[in-house]
Structure 1
Amino acid sequence: MGTKIMVLEDDPDIRRVIALILLRERFEVQSYASATAFLNEISDMDADLFLLDVKLPDGNGMDICNQLKQDSRTRHIPVIMMSAHYNLAKAGEFIADDFICKPFNITDFVDTIRKHIA
């Protein structure tokens, strides 16, 4: 089985682009459009990395990140936050392993992902 990346992104176009990029890089991808859908499957997750949008219509990616980092089953899994609306200077306010600004450069995006699963 390949490296599994769990993506939480509410925008369908961005979610599709991220999935295509990650699949092209030979990652296994599981995508979620809402915090509710993501959290409903959290107990069954065997992810190698979480990629979470900050602003969601039914939740907050920062809260989910903090929840993942406090759970003994998921705290060891890298979490990368991403947002177009979040100031990089504030990225330290949560305990994610990294932050990706949208829109992103594809090469930088892939490099950030690879850095955390190496």
Structure 2
Amino acid sequence: MDVLHNIQPLERVGFERLIKLIEARQIFKPEILEELDVQMDFLTREIDKGTTVHQHRDYDECNVSAPACWQETQTTQRADELGRAMVMFFELYETLQAVHDLMHAQEALDALRRSL
């Protein structure tokens, strides 16, 4: 929900689909991981669009500090907000991936027990 105001209406479909899955408590279906991956990829591209890297170099011959060049990253407010949301998406993805792995392990264990 926190990212919707930063997303164009036509690009909100996937995010709205995620919201519906979460609200319907259907986050343990395999499709949600794919949907999260797609939306995280979208967020990454949007954050990149709002990020500018400036190269600086100190040409003063009296400068003896190293390095004589450095980078400064600037982001728009939109990219900052999307970046904060990206952290939550990543944590959700990692948590759900762990839960899905445990569910698959439990299914494999149950199948093994049935075969004995």
- Scaled by the length of structure 2, the TM-score of the pair is 0.27
Larger Rg: 2
- Which is helix-richer, 1 or 2? 2
- Give the TM-score normalised by structure 1: 0.27
Larger RCO of the pair (alpha carbons < 8 Å, separation 6+)? 2
- Greater fraction strand: 1
